[in-house]
A and B are shown apart, each in its own frame.
Chain A
Amino acid sequence: MTSVLLIEDDDRIRLSLTLALEDEGYTAHAAATAEQGLAEQRRVGADTVLVDLMLPGMDGFECIRELRRGDDVPIVVISARDDTHDIVAALEAGADDYLVKPVAVKELAARLRALRRRARVATAPLRTLTFGDLELRPDAGEVRLHGAEVPVTRTEFRLLCELAEHPGQVLSRQQLLQRVWGYDIGDERLVDVHVGRVRHKIEDVPGKPRHLVTVRGLGYKLQP
């Protein structure tokens, strides 16, 4: 059974979401603060973490960064804030997806399923894909730059694999949203921020990308 950790300071939301997630078949763990949440995650190692942004003490952004430090666990933000700044900041901190409250339980379950599917697809056996000094090993879930392994999250890895499976071909943001996140209609900022994060890991000069390039008005492509 898959487990979910919910870090949410509002008692009523925490309780109701815990009940609803258990109804959906998840093992739900809950924490009221970021500190408790980090400790709980170390203890139970949930498959997915749901985080609110406005938390007492350590805030959600810091909490995401802390989680990311040692883990590639999928992180989904559930926040009442829908400012572009907040969304981008949360994604840049390392979140995989962003949902604005109120989230319908069906929608939340669909997002969690999509994240699980991605985690599974990423472990499917595939040959090694090479783009100049960049190497992708889908079977091992590894990315190597100049021969050295680069730590990437599952979502970042999935994004790279999607682009790598279509070498030199432009994939639109919507195509990537659909293939990587499983969205029919989604927020293109998800793609942009993830591309930015990936560039920081696989490009020598992230400001002047050589491998993962933007095709203005169309989307992104991966090239040697």
Chain B
Amino acid sequence: MRRAGLRTRVSAAFAVGALALSACVTIVSYELTRSTLFQERERTAVRTAYFDAAAVDSSLTAGDTNVADVLGALDAGADRYVLVQRAGRWYSRSAETGAQAAVPQSLRELAARGEAGAQRIRRDREPALAIAVPLGGDTVFYEIVSQRELERTLQVLALVLAAVAIMMAAGGAAVGWYVTRSALRPLGAVAGAARGIAEGDLGTRLDPATEPDLAPLAASFNHMADELARRLQRDRRFAADVSHELRSPLQTLAAAVSVVDRRRDGLDERSAAAVGLIVDEVARFQELVADLLELARSDQPVQREPTDVVALAERVVRAHGVAPEIVVDGPREWLVDARRVEQALGNLIENAIRYGGGPVAVRLGKGFLEVDDAGPGVPEGLRATIFDRFVRGPAAGARGAGDGTGLGLAIVAEHAAAHGGSATVTERPGGGARFRLELP
């Protein structure tokens, strides 16, 4: 699974933290409010119940035997139910028959022992308080007080507190998002600098003063860039030194060999054959050095300029002494590094001459060029590696006099890559190979 981004994770952590914090506060305050309110209500309810019990007691003691009438005379609101149990019989106000069912057994037993008490119960799925006050003799006064309104109040409170908790979490997430944005902004500068270096601007450095907290990052980034520049510089100097040290003796060889070659006719057969070998190998060595040096610097940035590719293609085929059909299917002018494209196309044509019996067509499409030959083609298994260095196809056969350096196609691939494109080979419809160079 893909890991969530830093900003997402930080925001989520902020949200969870804010939610946990607000949930704690909410739950504590809710519980405190609830217990306080309940205690308050219950105290009031118990006091009222004692008052009512005293009134009923005095009425009964005064000889009023109709218990229902006595209860009816009590000033009981809608939320209060009064009951009297006398000698095993239940009395209540006419409208509240059956209310005794709500009186819990434990409270009845408590009252039977002559003790007053109160107990929280649920009646009709609503919270209520049942209060028992034993009167003299065989009589117990019960009062059931509904706490419905209190519960409703608490429900509203819980709703409000939950909403606050959710808003706190959302606020936390927003703060996290905002904070990470400002925290990540310096990283954007780092990314930009790294991109600059990747694109070849080795002078790119970060200013450690702009963001003091990120100074170590800027310092190590700059150190890395310095190191990279130094290494590139060293590599470049090495390549330059090598090229000079190789080219100088090659120049002597090339000139001296030409002198001997001119006099080959005057030599005996064995010497002439040996001179022939030296001439061929010196020529091949020259190509090899040129190709290796070309590869060594192929990672340098491309210098794009408007180029008439049709004229370029015509020039290249003329220089190689071949006349393939040039098919143009797109704009004539491309924004490319002309030197590289010229060399890449030249290498493809040379490849076609060497291994494909000569190019039959050069196609210039939109951002790509193709070179077709009518040779044996490139076997499927070799198509991926043919652009590697020193890879020669079976078409090359034994390494004879006509063999190349084995670097031509590698250079083609490097030039394509330098343009951000690619080099591929496929089968040409009708036989032969089709080399394609993508130059976006």
A positions within 8 Å CB-CB of B: 10, 12-13, 16-17, 19-20, 23, 54, 78, 80-83, 100-106, 172, 174, 184-185, 188, 216-218
Contact = CB atoms under 8 A, between A and B. Distances in A.
Contacts of B305: 217
B44 to A, nearest CB: 96
Given A20-B255, A82-B243, A217-B307, 9 more contacts: A10-B252, A13-B248, A80-B248, A101-B247, A101-B251, A104-B258, A104-B283, A172-B311, A217-B306
Given A184-B315, A184-B318, A16 B247 contact: no
Interface in B234-256: 240, 243-244, 247-256
B157 interface: no
Contacts of A82: 243, 293
Q: Could you tell me the dominant secondary structure of chain B's interface residues? A: helix
Interface of B: 240, 243-244, 247-256, 258-259, 262, 283, 286, 289, 293, 305-308, 311, 315-316, 318-319, 333, 338, 342, 346
Nearest to A86: B240
Contacts of B293: 82
A105 B258 contact: yes
Given A16-B255, A16-B256, A10 B248 contact: yes
Given A100-B247, A172-B308, A185 B255 contact: no
Top-8 shortest CB links A-B = A217-B306, A16-B255, A102-B250, A105-B258, A80-B247, A20-B255, A101-B247, A102-B251
A88 to B, nearest CB: 13
B263 to A, nearest CB: 9
B311 A174 contact: yes
A105 B257 CA distance: 9
16 contacts: A10-B248, A16-B259, A19-B256, A80-B243, A80-B247, A82-B243, A82-B293, A101-B251, A102-B247, A102-B286, A104-B254, A106-B258, A174-B315, A184-B318, A185-B342, A218-B308
Given A103-B254, A105-B254, A188-B338, A23 B259 contact: yes
A19 B283 CA distance: 19
A185 B240 contact: no
Contacts of A17: 251, 255
Contact of B262 (A13, A23, A102): A23
Contacts of B262: 23
Contacts of B311: 172, 174
Contacts of A16: 251-256, 259
A216 B258 CA distance: 43
A136 B19 CA distance: 88
Contact of A216 (B253, B255, B283, B306): B306
B286 A104 contact: yes
B240 A83 contact: yes
Contacts of A172: 308, 311
B303 to A, nearest CB: 9
Contacts of B333: 217
B258 A101 contact: no
A140 B268 CA distance: 54
Nearest to A177: B315
B408 to A, nearest CB: 16
A185 B343 CA distance: 10
B259 A81 contact: no
Contact of A12 (B247, B252, B307, B319): B252
Q: Could you tell me the dominant secondary structure of chain A's interface residues? A: loop
Nearest to A21: B255
B311 to A, nearest CB: 7
Contact of A13 (B252, B286, B316): B252
B240 A81 contact: yes
A81 B293 CA distance: 11
B293 to A, nearest CB: 8
Given A101-B248, A102-B250, A217-B333, A13 B255 contact: yes
A28 B346 CA distance: 35
A101 B315 contact: no
Q: Which of B255, B293, B338 has the most CB of A within 10 A?
A: B255
B255 A105 contact: yes
A175 B231 CA distance: 41
Contacts of B249: 12
Contacts of B319: 184-185
Contacts of B346: 185
B297 to A, nearest CB: 9
Q: Which of A100, A102, A217 has the most CB of B within 10 A?
A: A102
A105 B255 CA distance: 6
Given A20-B258, A106-B258, A13 B251 contact: yes
Contact of A19 (B259, B308, B342): B259
Contacts of A217: 305-308, 333
Contact of B244 (A78, A80, A184): A80
A81 B342 CA distance: 21
A213 B306 CA distance: 17
Contacts of A100: 247
Given A80-B244, A101-B251, A102-B254, A185 B259 contact: no
Contacts of B307: 217
B347 to A, nearest CB: 13
A34 B171 CA distance: 79
B244 A185 contact: no
A192 to B, nearest CB: 11
A185 to B, nearest CB: 5
A16 B256 CA distance: 5
A101 B250 contact: yes
Nearest to A16: B255
A172 B338 CA distance: 13
A112 to B, nearest CB: 14
Contacts of A104: 254, 258, 283, 286
B108 to A, nearest CB: 107
B259 to A, nearest CB: 5
A4 B79 CA distance: 127
